[in-house]
Structure 1
């Protein structure tokens, strides 16, 4: 499925993830969409179903496209801010990082009550790079609104995101609010979110932003403030250690979605993505711990997994997926 216009033709994130001390090998052009993923046998991952409380999860090999294990990969669930990965895949290639936007009242209209914000002010001047740091590090819905305004508006951006999802072969996603804010009918799946993250990591700018732990941001009254990424498994904060080899991607939370997370890491020549939606254990940092368990399991098994045929099932006993 062609979507070179949507992602950088410089596939991969070569040497741009300095904070992680690693780099991604190039992702083949035919490995960016859902059509290039292969599913894997379930037998060796039975214990994951017993140990993980998430409603849905998936772990996949970025470069080969193999789904190593999954539970309810196509269950349609509220995605929260992990949907910002699709927003970035759709909008990020359109504007130069150095372009400056003076924010109007219209740019910030329609922010949902209780939205996460980075603190963008009406009348303030921000580079596109500032706005993307606000999106990735603080999950700033105000930054998403400004970028969407630059892109032709909220409805236009939602429509383009939906088109992008379809081009990528992501059929479980319905976009209503580009920032991931809870909205009637807005859903995605562990499968689709993994597809979006994989497409994003093929873009050097996406890979850099999603791996950034800290960045300067224009402060009210002049000067700069320091942003810290809210992704605890990336930064190593709030009782979580930084996951070995972590390279992003995006965390989220809403009252409807619960905690959500897409995490990518690289070890020993393999880059894996683990997507976790709505853990039910009630444990502190549960979404990060379960993503870490998936990545640990994936790195132990990635070299030994073999693809099997598609069954078409989507339940706790079958890891149906086909990237």
Structure 2
């Protein structure tokens, strides 16, 4: 069935059927997300609504992922019940194997999960995390969730990155976009990065995830983007933080009766992390009226790192969205290692895995200083790999050997003349 303005399955006060997940078998969202329930995607007069992104053929990740219903390896057992999300995906973060999914390439709105793409874009651009930030009126008046910046506050770009990922601060997203050259330049960089990751269902229309015309992604794409982000040590550190002291700011002289605004302990919106679930590596939440609830995250359970994505779903009266996430994690953790219906697209800059299966990546200091391999790759600049470096060394060695031989021959001739 196609979604209505207020789907019955989304109402949190009504009794729900055993499995309230919308039927997507007939691919209602293969090209575009569900219809908007408000006017957030109405373009300004004189502007043109962006055309839907082309549907990639063959489907990225494998032919089985081209289906729109549930696709799962039978060896993994029965998929979790009572899922309200129209689309979801379970994968092995380390191997990239997709264990099961529902409408994996269906187009949905990302809401604030798109901030993962913004964060990765900023980190690959070599953002200086210790750089001081001066908040502007445009920053602290940003629509939606915020970290609570104000005039006179002393912030760093690190505070902005943490606020972006921890509490979905749209004010932080505005600051980061300004640092990347402005909103338009940032969106261009974000969308170029998505294409380089083979996330072809993804188009960022706002840096923060606020709904706007043309915005879309898919469970598959979110998994690919999050997996790429988890290869970055700075991202991994931030996404795993349950809380962070966010600076305050002094009273505003332009506001009568205002008082000082003290700093506060910011807490993550990821309830798996906040509630102390074991093995949680981190995740990113999102919600708008049009996107409904979205989530992407990873949990290490029973020796396996499980990546889950949920899109276009809600909690119900007797079925919490976080419990649904837990059931997807448990399903992936208990699946046989060989269970696989597809695979997440790999990136050209994936690092070698360490002994515990985690990805090695460039240090924060290197990112804040000279351009890293990741930054150069994202800008399309060629760089030498280790093989090329050895080739140069061998060539220099051969030239040196030739010079030595010539000198030896010259010495022998001089000896003979004597």
Q: TM-score range by the shorter chain?
A: 0.7 to 0.9
Q: Deviations over 1:223-279 (max 9, x none)?
A: 53110111111101xxxxx32211111011111111111120113432111001122
2:87–2:310: 8 Å Cα contact kept in structure 1? yes
1:92 maps onto 2:123 in alignment: yes
- Cα separation, 2, equivalents of 1:155 and 1:255: 24
Supply the distance in 2 between the matched residues of 1:161 and 1:123 (Cα, whole angstroms): 30
Runs of 5+ unmatched residues, structure 1: 1-33, 237-241, 309-319
Assess, with a 3 A threshold, how the Cα gap between structure 1 residues 220 and 71 changes in structure 2: closer, same or farther. same
**Residue 248 and residue 283 in structure 1: after superposition, are their counterparts in 2 closer, same or farther (change >3 A)?**
farther
- Quote the residue 1:291 is aligned against: 325
Q: 2: CA distance between counterparts of 1:322 and 1:195?
A: 6
Which residue in 2 is equivalent to 1:316?
none
What SS does the aligned partner of 1:97 have?
A: coil
Q: Which residue of 2 aligns with 1:263?
A: 297
5+ residue gaps in structure 2?
Answer: 1-59, 66-70, 251-260, 346-418
Aligned equivalent of 1:317 = none
CA contact (8 A) 1:84 1:178 kept: yes
RMSD: 2.5
Mark the CA change 1:151 to 1:119 in structure 2 (over 3 Å): closer, same or farther: same
Deviations 1:64-119 (A, max 9, x none): 1100110001110011111111111101242222111112335556x33xx01111
Q: TM-score, normalised by structure 2?
A: 0.60
Q: Which of 59, 63, 83 matches 2:114?
A: 83
Tell me, yes or no, if structure 1 residue 101 matches structure 2 residue 133.
Answer: yes
SS at match of 2:296: strand
Q: 2-side partners of 1:139 and 1:191: how far apart?
A: 22
**CA deviations over 1:163-184 (Å, ceiling 9, x no partner):** 0000000000111001001112
TM-score, normalised by the number of residues in structure 1: 0.77
- CA, structure 1 residues 322+140, in 2 after alignment: closer, same or farther (shift >3 Å)? closer
1:275–1:219: structure 2 CA closer, same or farther, 3 Å change rule?
same
- Tell me what 2:400 maps to: none
Count of paired positions: 270
Q: Residue 64 of structure 1 aligns with which residue? A: 95
- The offset of 1:304, in angstroms, is 4.0
- Does the CA contact (< 8 Å) of 1:90 and 1:160 recur in 2? yes
Task: Label 1:70 to 1:35 Cα distance change in 2 as closer, same or farther (>3 A).
Answer: closer
Once residues 314 and 77 of structure 2 are traced to their aligned partners in structure 1, the CA distance between those partners, rounded to angstroms, is 18
Q: What SS does structure 1 have at the residue aligned with 2:79?
A: helix
2:149 equivalent to 1:120: yes
Contact 1:107 1:149 in 2 (8 A): no
Higher normalized contact order (CA 8 Å, seq sep 6+, divided by chain length) = 1
Runs of 4+ that moved beyond 4 A: 38-41, 106-109
Give distance in 2, aligned partners of 1:292 and 1:90.
29
Query: Once the two structures are superposed, what CA deviation does each residue of 1:281-316 show, in whole Å capped at 9, x if it has no partner?
Result: 6246732111111110100014241x45xxxxxxxx
CA distance in 1 between partners of 2:316 and 2:214 (Å): 26
What secondary structure does 1:118 align onto?
coil
Instruction: Give the distance between the partners of 2:234 and 2:91, measured in 1 at CA.
Output: 22
